[in-house]
Each structure stands twice: as C-alpha cells, then as structure tokens.
Amino acid sequence: DLRLLPFSVTLSYIVPTILMALDYPSTVTTLTHQRLIALWQPFPLWTILVHYTLKTTLSTLSSSSNSTKNNTTSRLQSSPGTTYLKTAKHIYRFTLTICILSHLPILLLSLLPPTLIPSTYPSLHTMSQESPLSVYIPPFPSPSSKISSLAEGVHTFLIWDVYIGSFAFLLWGMLMYRNAVGEKVAWMGLLGKVGVWCVLGGPIGALTVLLWERDGLVMGEKVKKGE
C-alpha cells in the first residue's frame, strides 16, 4: 500500500488538478473547464478507487512464488520497523517534493520585481505584482469586511479552509514529535524548524518533516529492542 500510494495520488489527485488548471478559453473551452473542476471535486473517492484498482491488478498479475512470499513474510516479521522506514521514506519524500514544488515557486515569484516578468505571460505577470503578504495572508472574516465579487469570496474562504485544516495537522504533528523526543525537546529549535519548513513547503511540508523524524525516532527504538 505504501509503495503504491504515490502512484494512486498522482493519478487521482495531481493529474485532475493539472487538468483543472488548464487555461481557458485558450487551451480548453469554458464548458470543459467547468467539467474538469467537477471531475476534480471527488478526488478522495478517485484515490480510493485508483488505489484499489492498482493493488488488485498488481496482485493478480504478480507471479511471485510461494517461497518468495514466505521469505518476504519472514523478513517483514523479523524487522517490521526497518521495513516500514525503508518504505515510508519514499512517501515522505514524495509529499515533501509536492509541497515544495507547489509552494516555493509562488513565494519566489511574489518576491521578484514585477518588471522581470514580461506581460506576454499574463498569469505569471499578475502573480509577480502581488506581495507575499497579499498572497499568503487572507482578509480576516469580520462583519465589516466586504468582498468585491463572488470569486474573491470563494478564494478567501478556500485559503482559510486550507490554513485551518493544515495548521491543525501541524499542531498534531508537533505533539507527536514532542512525544517521541520526550521531555528533552527543545521548543525554540522545534519552532524554528517548523518556521523554516513552512516557508519552504507550507504547513504540510513542515508536518511531513516532523512526522518523518518522529517515525525515525520511534521505529529506531523498536529496531534496537528487536520489536
């Protein structure tokens, strides 16, 4: 399951996201763009279906002998911690790569002088005119705040939706990391690490690093104890 997960997420989430982001009406028609948005919406369901299909297909096509399966089972039973870490590290690398590739270019683009991006690239030129504050800090929802359009309101809502959900995960990840390290955890160092990775890959990027290190600490102890 862990080895297949990057492929499942790529097919069911990343590919529909790229299709949904195609420019319209120059690349796709407005109707096609709306259909691609609708296709993207139930991506959790697509992930389950794609993952199940890949797993079932590969299991059916597998020609492994019973002896190979028995040897694999014996190896898994003898060192589950080591096996898990070797497999899970690819998941963490995949997640961290996606976080950095989708976060850092936008940050760098907002830091560049607008004159560096020619107007022949209208989307990039528009984003380069924004500041990091305007990109990453949404308007605070208050009774006195007003929006200029429905699109702006939906955009602001989605930013808050991402922040609330991702920072809740990040707090949970910090708790898991603290529990693994114990009382000797250095809070200033932990907060500094979280801050740096939030800049590089957003809150989910920081969460990925914390859980990766936490798994290494917990599973490393289990391997030493022979569990």
Q: Each residue of 169-205: pLDDT tens digit?
A: 999 999 999 999 887 888 899 999 999 999 999 999 9
Average pLDDT, integer, range 75-86:
66
Distance of alpha carbon 84 from alpha carbon 88, whole angstroms: 6
In angstroms, the Cα distances linking 15 to 9, 19, 98, 118, 180 are 9, 6, 13, 28, 36
pLDDT at position 155 is 87
- Residue 120, Cβ neighbours under 10 Å: how many? 7
pLDDT at 30 over 70: yes
The reported pLDDT for the residue numbered 226 is: 58
What band does 60 get if pLDDT is binned at 50, 70 and 90? confident
* Cα distance between residue 192 and residue 194, in whole Å: 5
Q: For the residues 203-218, what does the mean pLDDT come to?
A: 93
* 94: pLDDT strictly greater than 50: yes
pLDDT at 67: 47
Question: What is the structure's pLDDT at 54?
Answer: 94
Instruction: Give me the mean pLDDT over the 133-152 stretch.
Output: 86
> Is the pLDDT reported for residue 120 higher than 90?
no
Q: Is the pLDDT of residue 63 over 70?
A: no
Running DSSP on this structure, what letter comes out for residue 140? Answer: P
| Contacting residues for 205 by C-beta, under 8 A, at least 6 apart | 96, 99, 100, 103, 197, 198
Residue spans of beta strands (DSSP E) within 15-99: none
Count Cα neighbours of 68 within 13 Å in the Cβ-side half-sphere: 4
